[in-house]
Structure 1
Amino acid sequence: MRVVLALVVGLKGHNLTTDNFFTSYQLGQKLLEKQITLVGTIRKNKPELPPATVNIKGRPVLSSSFAFTRNTTIVSYIPKKNKSVNLLSTFHHDSKVSDRADKKPAIILDYNKCKGGVDTLDKAVSCYTCKRKTKRWPQVVFSNMVNITQPESSTGRKTTKRSRCQLCQKTDNKTGLVCDICNKFICKAAF
């Protein structure tokens, strides 16, 4: 909570989107005092979640369960059998559900619109990581910093099309990476 509050110093009238690592009821209330609203996924083990949103037994697929306080909304949505997604919002104050086939609540649709940057970074970091299992915290911090800066310095971009690497001698080496400079398919080994 302290990290988020330090990052929003000077902001007013914005909507903040967070993932389940940062989202909590207390953070939402602190941000409302600063006139900043919050939308974010929330972990199922948080004590502030009502039992009706955590317990999914007997609830049909594509159903939503809402819980309201004076200025906070919590929604539990079931996209698949035995799986639920919980979100907390201080921006939304109703139980509006879309007319689409998946019947997603408006809170989830707004969250999905705004979460792109975090997911893009997580996806890029997961492809190429320098993390190693260690108990030394400075090494963990350093490897995380390198992982976060690595996607910015990459010379290749991912495509949906796959082809053989044009720089390697191997004939079976298929890749989806394309060099930004020469526009040729390159594999991790040639990178």
Structure 2
Amino acid sequence: MYIELEAQKLTYVGTLRDKKQQVPGLMTDKTVIKIGCAAFLFDTTMTIVSHLPDKKKKFVQLITSMHQQPVIDDCGKPKIILYDINTKGGVYTFDQMCALYTYSRKTKQWPLCIMYGLLNAASVNSYAICNEMRKHDGQAELLRRK
């Protein structure tokens, strides 16, 4: 997969679940990684960062092919995490809007899962287009999604 992305000159940054068996156990060990610290794991093509913000929260883990240096910002967070926060806001907002009023139902049939996902995306997109059209027409009141 990475070779295909590299051929197109694309990079990726995304979150990881800490229970993945491919991630070493040291990356999620609270005895090794102290509160407010980060651990970096480097490969030839990708970097994994694990950060423990405070005692109550879980580890924040990201994988990236874009960043190759373990740079920590002035606030104590790795630059990779700050990059993810600054660039993925739209994705997280979209997921939150899809989850708020969802069409999804529990099913074991994968075509239905895809159909439910398409319906969720279509409803959020139509809501956004409708409100943009109302703004463009000068209507002060925007529609509520409900």
Match of 2:141 in 1: 183
Give 1:57's match in structure 2, choosing from 24, 27, 31: 31
Match of 1:91 in 2: 66
- Deviation of 1:77 after TM superposition, in Å, equals 0.3
Separation of aligned partners in 2, 1:76 and 1:29: 24
Match of 1:43 in 2: 17
Provide closer, same or farther for how the CA distance between residues 71 and 184 of structure 1 changes in structure 2, counting only shifts above 3 A: closer
The 3-state SS of whatever aligns with 2:17 is coil
Contact 1:50–1:67 (CA<8 Å) still a contact in 2? Answer: no
Give 2:107's match in structure 1, choosing from 130, 134, 141: 134
Match of 2:51 in 1: 77
Provide closer, same or farther for how the CA distance between residues 152 and 34 of structure 1 changes in structure 2, counting only shifts above 3 A: closer
- Deviation of 1:110 after TM superposition, in Å, equals 1.1
- Deviation of 1:185 after TM superposition, in Å, equals 7.9
Q: Could you list the runs of 5+ residues in structure 2 that have no partner in the other structure?
A: none
* Richer in strand (by share): 1
- Deviation of 1:93 after TM superposition, in Å, equals 1.4
Provide closer, same or farther for how the CA distance between residues 152 and 37 of structure 1 changes in structure 2, counting only shifts above 3 A: closer
Identity rate of aligned residues, in percent? 31
Q: Note the alpha carbon deviations across 1:22-64, whole angstroms, 9 max, x for none.
A: xxxxx44552354322221122233332332122235322110
Q: Which amino acid aligns with 2:74?
A: D
- Asked which structure has the greater RCO (Cα within 8 Å, sep 6+), the reply is 2
- Deviation of 1:118 after TM superposition, in Å, equals 1.3
- Deviation of 1:186 after TM superposition, in Å, equals 5.8
TM-score normalised by L of structure 1: 0.61
The 3-state SS of whatever aligns with 2:53 is strand
TM-score normalised by L of structure 2: 0.77
Q: Does 1:31 align with 2:9?
A: no
Contact 2:98–2:120 (CA<8 Å) still a contact in 1? Answer: yes
Match of 2:93 in 1: 120
* Richer in helix (by share): 2
Q: Which amino acid aligns with 1:68?
A: F
Between Structure 1 and Structure 2, whose CA radius of gyration is higher?
A: 1
Separation of aligned partners in 2, 1:153 and 1:130: 15
Q: Does 1:146 align with 2:119?
A: yes
Alignment root-mean-square deviation, CA: 2.7
